[in-house]
Amino acid sequence: MTSPLKLGVAGLGTVGAGVVSLLRANADLITARAGRPIEVVAVSARDRGRDRGVSLDGLAWHDDPVELATAPGLDAVVEVMGGSEGPARALVEASLAAGRPVVTANKALLATHGVALARLVEKTGATLAYEAAVAGGIPAIKALREGLAANRITRVAGILNGTCNYILTEMRVKGLPFATVLKTAQELGYAEADPGFDIDGVDAAHKLAILAALAFGRPVDLDALHIEGIRHVSALDIALAGELGYRIKLLGIASQEKGGVTARVHPCMVPEASPLAAVEGVFNAVLAEGDAVGRVVLQGRGAGAGPTASAVVADIIDLARGRTAPLWGAASETLDASPALPMAAHRGAYYLRLMVLDQPGVIADVTAVLRDARISLESMLQRGRAPGEAVPVVLVTHECEEAQMSQALTRLAGLPTVVEPPAMIRIEAL
């Protein structure tokens, strides 16, 4: 029998415990597919005594996770602690510097330090694998970096945060309040340690930054992204979207335009007939468009112990087999570092929902603002009758530029008859 691949696992939370138990549950087939047994021999976490549902008997315990970088007898390290700084970063850097391969689920680290990490692996030759970092169990990294490697990719998009998709789905289907559903998502192990990363769009941005780098052959650039989360998506907008034939989804979208690349994360209205509209709950979807292949859509569970462990263990099997790929699909010096396009240049259609006083002349004031910004309306919807009180007015625009919309929003918010900040959601025909 070939010698086993010996692992140190740093982090024994949702993902770490999931990895240890999956390696045990499917040991026979994993051994066959890896060509050798895979053994966890050392672990590190914050709390040694916690019951995680997996036995740690016989495993070496390290209080300091960074020790796994150089502890004798290990062939590779699995970093599933999280965080772009602190011990996760220190462990990954120290392991790679020592030539020890790393498998991680840490999108924050890859999106923030991916450029330097690529230089490090190019220097030492150690592998850094990160399938679990994007869209959990969906093999999105492999699909883009290997499966679609022959294509010029024109667009990559998707539902990239399971927590947000779960919240939006439960709010729509069960009418549950935002905070209640977020709490359940945390209990189910979907949310980040700081759930603000999920609901403010940061986690989806980390993933989109990674996908965009792979899709367009560019150095990963989180700062170039426009990022909005779902805190401001109300139950009213979810219901009104349904009336108009749309679903609200938090999407990440990066596309190759004439003058450069755009990358943005924000709530979107997608037509109910879109393949993305049907992706509900903790499911994620990744859509890519290539010049040779056309459109490819992958979907599957984007968070949780099993789906994430599935991706981590797939990377471990690749390591055992000696299958590797450049961190970003090609050597750093061949990547295209031209600047990204700003959000102000984005063109699209918009949904606007205003709470206006129900009195004569209000609609004339609103449409005058849109006229002045040269924004043309596709449809308008007014609900209810409450003289002297606030009622919702919904406007759907034709395509215009984001800069025009920003100007109109500022003026609409300033109208004396508009009593709440306007709600704006971009419409995407994906």
Ligand X SMILES: NC(=O)c1ccc[n+]([C@@H]2O[C@H](COP(=O)([O-])OP(=O)(O)OC[C@H]3O[C@@H](n4cnc5c(N)ncnc54)[C@H](O)[C@@H]3O)[C@@H](O)[C@H]2O)c1
Enzyme catalytic residues: 207
Give the residue with the Cβ less far from ligand HSE, 191 or 427: 191
Positions in 130-169 near Na ion (CB under 5 A): 131, 134-135, 138, 140
- How far apart are CB 343 and ligand HSE at their closest, in Å? 23
131 binds, among Na ion, ligand X, ligand HSE, none (CB under 5 to 8 A by kind): Na ion
Give the residue with the Cβ less far from ligand X, 12 or 230: 12
Which residues does residue 387 pair with via DSSP β-bridges, in sequence order? 358
- Is 228 annotated to bind a ligand? Reply is no
- Is 137 annotated to bind a ligand? Reply is no
Is 286 a binder of ligand X (CB under 6 A)? no
65 binds, among Na ion, ligand X, ligand HSE, none (CB under 5 to 8 A by kind): ligand X
Query: SS in 3 state form for the chain?
Result: CCCCEEEEEECCCHHHHHHHHHHHHCHHHHHHHHCCCEEEEEEECCCCCCCCCCCCCCCEECCCHHHHHCCCCCCEEEECCCCCCHHHHHHHHHHHHCCCCEEECCHHHHHHHHHHHHHHHHHHCCCEECHHHCCCCCCHHHHHHHHCCCCCEEEEEEECCHHHHHHHHHHHHHCCCHHHHHHHHHHCCCCCCCCHHHHCCHHHHHHHHHHHHHHHCCCCCHHHCEECCCCCCCHHHHHHHHHCCEEEEEEEEEEEECCEEEEEEEEEEEECCCCCCCCCCCEEEEEEEECCCEEEEEEEECCCHHHHHHHHHHHHHHHHHCCCCCCCCCCHHHCCCCCCCCHHHCEEEEEEEEEEEECCCHHHHHHHHHHHCCCCEEEEEECCCCECCEEEEEEEECCEEHHHHHHHHHHHHHCCCECCCCEEEEECCC
Give the residue with the Cβ less far from ligand HSE, 193 or 413: 193
Give the residue with the Cβ less far from ligand HSE, 91 or 303: 303
Among 136, 158, 201, 290, binds ligand X (CB under 6 A): 136
Is 14 a binder of ligand X (CB under 6 A)? yes
**394 Rama class: left (phi>0) / alpha (psi -120 to 50) / beta:** beta
Which residues does residue 317 pair with via DSSP β-bridges, in sequence order? none
- Is 183 annotated to bind a ligand? Reply is no
Taking CA atoms, 81 is separated from 181, 242, 315, in Å, by 24, 39, 17
How far apart CA 139 and CA 349 sit, in angstroms, is 32
Q: Which residues bind ligand HSE (CB under 6 A)?
A: 136, 161-163, 190-192, 198, 203, 302-303
- Is 16 annotated to bind a ligand? Reply is yes
198 binds, among ligand X, ligand HSE, Na ion, none (CB under 5 to 8 A by kind): ligand HSE
Give the residue with the Cβ less far from ligand HSE, 38 or 305: 305
- Is 131 annotated to bind a ligand? Reply is no
Is 13 a binder of ligand X (CB under 6 A)? yes
- Is 15 annotated to bind a ligand? Reply is yes
How many residues bind ligand X (CB under 6 A)? The answer is: 28
Q: Which stretch binds ligand X (CB under 6 A): 26-34, 216-224, 301-309, 330-338?
A: 301-309
Positions in 23-62 near ligand X (CB under 6 A): 44-47
- Is 356 annotated to bind a ligand? Reply is no
Q: Which stretch binds Na ion (CB under 5 A): 94-102, 112-120, 164-172, 310-318?
A: 310-318
Which residues does residue 283 pair with via DSSP β-bridges, in sequence order? 301
- Is 192 annotated to bind a ligand? Reply is yes
Among 8, 229, 304, 422, binds ligand X (CB under 6 A): 304
- How far apart are CB 286 and ligand X at their closest, in Å? 14
Give the residue with the Cβ less far from Na ion, 133 or 335: 133
**Residue list, annotated binding site for L-homoserine:** 192
Residues at the interface with Na ion (CB under 5 A): 131, 134-135, 138, 140, 311
**Residue list, annotated binding site:** 10-17, 107, 192
Residues at the interface with ligand X (CB under 6 A): 11-16, 44-47, 65, 80-82, 86-87, 105-107, 132, 136, 189-190, 192-193, 303-304, 308
